[in-house]
Copies of this chain bind each other. A is one copy, B any other.
Amino acid sequence: MALSEFNLIERFFCQQRVKNLSTQLGIGDDCALLTLPSGYQLAVTTDTMVENVHFFAGTDPAQLGHKLLAVNLSDLASMGAKPVSVSLALTLPTVNEDWLAAFAQGFLDLANRYHVDLIGGDTTAGPLTLTVHALGLVPQGKALTRSAAKVGDFIYVTGSLGDAGLGLKIKQGYVCHHPDDALQRFNCPSPQVEIGLALIDIAHACIDISDGLAADLGHILQKSQVGACLDWEALPLSCSTQDYIADTGDWLLPLTAGDDYELCFTVSPENSAHLSVPCHKIGIIEAQSGLRLRRSGGVQTLAMKGFEHFS
Q: A8-B310, A91-B50 are in contact. Are A31 and B125 (CB under 8 A)?
A: no
Query: Does A277 reach chain B (CB closer than 8 Å)?
Result: no
Query: Does A106 reach chain B (CB closer than 8 Å)?
Result: no
CA distance A121 to B110 in the complex (A): 22
Among the 9-residue stretches A11-19, A33-41, A177-185, A228-236, the one with 4 or more Cβ atoms under 8 Å from chain B is: A33-41
Residue of B nearest to A33 (CB): B41
A48 in contact with B79 (CB, 8 Å): no
A119 in contact with B308 (CB, 8 Å): no
Q: A124-B53, A126-B50, A133-B87 are in contact. Are A140 and B35 (CB under 8 A)?
A: yes
CA distance A215 to B3 in the complex (A): 7
A35 — which chain B residues lie within 8 A by C-beta? 41-42, 140
Query: Does A175 reach chain B (CB closer than 8 Å)?
Result: no
CA distance A36 to B35 in the complex (A): 10
Q: A42-B36, A127-B126 are in contact. Are A1 and B211 (CB under 8 A)?
A: yes
Among the 9-residue stretches A266-274, A283-291, A299-307, the one with 4 or more Cβ atoms under 8 Å from chain B is: A299-307
A95 in contact with B310 (CB, 8 Å): yes
| A122 partner, pick from B4, B25, B131, B143, beta carbons under 8 A | B131
B133 in contact with A133 (CB, 8 Å): yes
CA distance A11 to B58 in the complex (A): 35
A78 — which chain B residues lie within 8 A by C-beta? 30-31
A122 in contact with B43 (CB, 8 Å): no
Query: Does A247 reach chain B (CB closer than 8 Å)?
Result: no
A308 — which chain B residues lie within 8 A by C-beta? 2-5
A4 in contact with B125 (CB, 8 Å): no
| A131 partner, pick from B5, B89, B218, beta carbons under 8 A | B89
- For the complex of A and B, 10 pairs with smallest distance between CB atoms: A50-B126, A2-B308, A127-B127, A31-B43, A133-B133, A34-B42, A125-B309, A30-B78, A31-B45, A30-B75
A residues adjacent to B (C-beta < 8 A): 1-6, 8, 24-25, 28-36, 38, 41-54, 75-76, 78-79, 81, 85, 87-89, 91, 94-95, 119-127, 129, 131, 133, 135-136, 138, 140, 143, 145-147, 207-208, 210-211, 215, 218-219, 223, 304-311
